[in-house]
Structures are given as structure tokens and as C-alpha cells.
Amino acid sequence: MLTADVYGAAGAAGLSAGWSVGPGGWSWNLLTDLRQMWAFPFMVNAFRAGTLIAVGAAVMGWFMVLRRQSFAGHTVATVGFPGAAGAALLGVGAVYGYFTFCVAAALVIAALPRAGRAAGGHESAVTGTVQAFLLACGFLFTTLYKGLLGGVTSLLFGSFLGITTAQVWLLFAVTAAVLAVLAVIGRPLLFASVDPDVAAGRGVPVRLLSTAFLVLLGAAAAEASQITGSLLVFALLVMPAATAQILSARPAVSLALSVAIAVAVTWLGLITAYYSPYPIGFYVTTFAFAGYVVAYVMTRSVRFAGGRT
């Protein structure tokens, strides 16, 4: 019989290869199954990191959806791929590449001139152009560093494996810093997000708040990219927030729902992937998408039924 440490290493290797590592399969006893998974350090770190990332992404994603900056958020997250690939090419940790490129991209987007709503089209064109160029750079970096070729899938589609305790603490520090800043600027940011013209007229520093928000979004995207990958980062940034805003128009309730949904789909994705041979990113995205569809159909049905009475 394998010891917990040996089985944990083998399990990590198996998951990275797409194998199921559940020793006896799902027992239908949640507490027993959780105890079994948490016997392995790599799974404990996966749950810790996943929870921190889900909370940070859900809160930032809620403001992002409210501000209709999903494309900017997608760009900020996507450039994490060339950042991580470039960091590996330079021989430093991928996490530094994620944060450097994501935050830098956020600053570039924030610096784009905005002169009212008409500037939105120009901003999107520039953002898309920069995004395409940096994606091409990412593939160049992976080609130059041939040893990374097997890790491209993880950079694009994410992985919970190999997260160390030190990385969990780093994620905790980033999440705490992002939420602390957001707590300070949250009220004026909400005002500027709902009606920027009126907010500017009342002296709210709309442009400064927008820049601060994009930097925080870059940090949150860099966090989430390590779990969902650069391409599936929307699973945690957009879907829980979009679902919550369908279910409730009240900001406090909607924000709490966004966090609850993000944590739930992350935990469900982890548990399901542990007992199956398929990637974690697929499950997180699928559960989040299913939640959105259910919420949309449910609210439409209620409105339709209300209209008939």
C-alpha cells in the first residue's frame, strides 16, 4: 500500500498526465472523500489556492462585468501566457511573468485616451491588436525554450498541481492586498461604474479610479491564470459575476453570490477532477457555465410567468 507522501507525488504526476488518482473512487460520503483528498499535501494547497483565487476573482469580476470591461479583462488575462512563457525562458518562476505582464497590460489599457463613450471602439481595437501580438510572442518564447513545450497546456488551460505552501502565502498576500484596496475605493468605484458622467460631475476622480481598478484586475487575473490558465480565466472572472448579477440587482447580495458561486465551482472542479481523467479547467468552466444557464433560464421563466398573470 502506498504511503500518503508517495501516493501524493504519484497522484500529482498522474493528474498532470490526465489520470484519475482517487484510490477507491467516489464513496458518496463527502466527509470521507474530503478527508481522503486532504491527506495529500498537494491537494490541500490546491484547495487553499483555489479558494483564495476564487474569492479575489469573483470580487474583481463583479466590478468588471458591472463596468462592461470584460474584453479588457480578457486581454489582461491573456497576456499572462507570454509573461509566464517569457519568465520560464529567462529562468525565473512563471508567477513573476504572470504578474509583470498582466499588471503592465492593465497600465497600458488605462493609459489609452478615452474621450467619452465614442472612444470605446478605438480602445477595443488597440487592445485587441496588442493582445494578438503578445500571444504570438508567447508562442515564440515557448519555441525558443524547448523544455517548456510540455507545459503550454498548463499555461493556457491551468493546473492546480505543484502549488507550494510558499505560493499559497503569496496568493494570500495578493488577495488580501487587492481586497483591502478595493474596500477603500469600492464605494466611489461603484458610483463611477454605474454613471461615470454624473460621478465626474460630482468630483469623483473617475480616471484615477479606473486606473486603480485595472491594476487590481491585472493582479487578480494573474492569480486566476495560474489555476484556470490564460484562456480559461473567464471561468472565474466573468461567469460567477455574470450569474450573480442575473440573480440579483442588489449590489451587496449580488457580490456575495458571486463569491459563493466562484468558490463552489472551484471546489466542485477540484473534487471532480480528482476522481476523473479530465482537466480541472474543463470542470471549473463547465460548472460555472451550467450555473449561468440555470440562472438565466430560471429568471426568464419567472419573468415570463409573472407576465402571464
Give residue-wise pLDDT tens across range 214-253: 899 888 888 777 766 777 777 788 899 999 999 998 999 9
What band does 8 get if pLDDT is binned at 50, 70 and 90? very low
Q: Torsion angle of alpha carbons 129, 131, 134, 138, nearest 10°?
A: -140
pLDDT of residue 242: 93
Closest C-alpha to 241, from 222, 220, 227: 220
Give residue-wise pLDDT tens across range 110-122: 887 665 555 555 6
Cβ neighbour number for residue 68 with a 10 Å cutoff? 10
Q: Is the pLDDT of residue 58 over 70?
A: yes
SS (H, E, C) 151-171: HHHHHHHCCCCCCCHHHHHHH
pTM (two decimals): 0.79
DSSP letter assigned to residue 232: S
Give residue-wise pLDDT tens across range 123-158: 677 777 877 888 888 878 877 876 655 566 667 766
Number of helical H runs and strand E runs in the chain: 15, 0
CA angle 123, 77, 229 (to 5 degrees): 155
pLDDT of residue 245: 92
CA angle 212, 213, 215 (to 5 degrees): 65
What band does 33 get if pLDDT is binned at 50, 70 and 90? confident
Q: Which amino acid is at 132?
A: A
- Dihedral of CA 162/237/273/152: which sign? negative
Task: Label residue 71 exposed, middle or buried (CB < 10 Å: 0-12, 13-18, 19+).
Answer: middle
What average pLDDT is seen over the chain?
Answer: 79
> Any idea how long the chain is?
309
Contact 223, 53 (CB under 8 A): yes
Residue 49 C-alpha cell reads as: 489556492
Q: Torsion angle of alpha carbons 48, 52, 58, 61, nearest 10°?
A: -130
**Distance from C-alpha of 234 to C-alpha of 157, rounded to nearest angstrom:** 11
Distances (CA, A) of 58 to 15, 38, 98: 26, 24, 19
